[in-house]
Amino acid sequence: MQIQPYLFLDGRCEEAIEFYKKVFGAQVGMLMRFKEAPPQSDAPACTPATAEKIMHASVTIGESRVMMSDGRNSGAPKFEGFALSVNARDEADANRMFGALANGGQVTMPLAKTFFSPCFGMVADKFGVRWMIIVEP
């Protein structure tokens, strides 16, 4: 059994995917837009404003899969109560990822040596997704 995060980015999914490609080398395995879904009698019709938005995407970051969607396209994603943790290869890799995530985001704990890691920090990216970057001892 695997547990995989599913991020609802409320209209910013494509932007987030492109950002994570640059930061982590993320690869898109599947991407489906709302316009590609068959019409359903119990669901509202796709509008021109949502047609190109992402209904579902499966993205691989390292060895992990993260699923994403534009969700309800409200423009106000909200991520609370969790963070995604990434193991960096070394301190230089940690600094590169952390810096990219912090650009336009908010640092909650700067990268620093801790009792459990030579380099650990926490940051919320420009989409509000919280990340923990760690170099394992």
Tens digits of per-residue pLDDT, 12-43? 999 999 999 999 999 999 999 999 988 777 76
CA angle 50, 54, 55 (to 5 degrees): 90
Please write down the HEC assignment for all residues of 66-111. EEEECCCCCCCCCCCCCCEEEECCCHHHHHHHHHHHHCCCEEEEEE
Listed by start position, the domains of the chain span 1-74, 79-137
> 79-137 — its CATH code?
3.30.720.110
Q: How far apart are CA 84 and CA 124, in angstroms?
A: 10
Average pLDDT, the chain: 93
> 1-74 — its CATH code?
3.10.180.10
Which of 45-54, 92-101, 108-117 is predicted with the least confidence, judged by mean pLDDT? Answer: 45-54
Q: How far apart are CA 24 and CA 62, in angstroms?
A: 8
Predicted local confidence at residue 94, as pLDDT: 98
The amino acid at residue 67 is M
State pTM to two decimals: 0.91
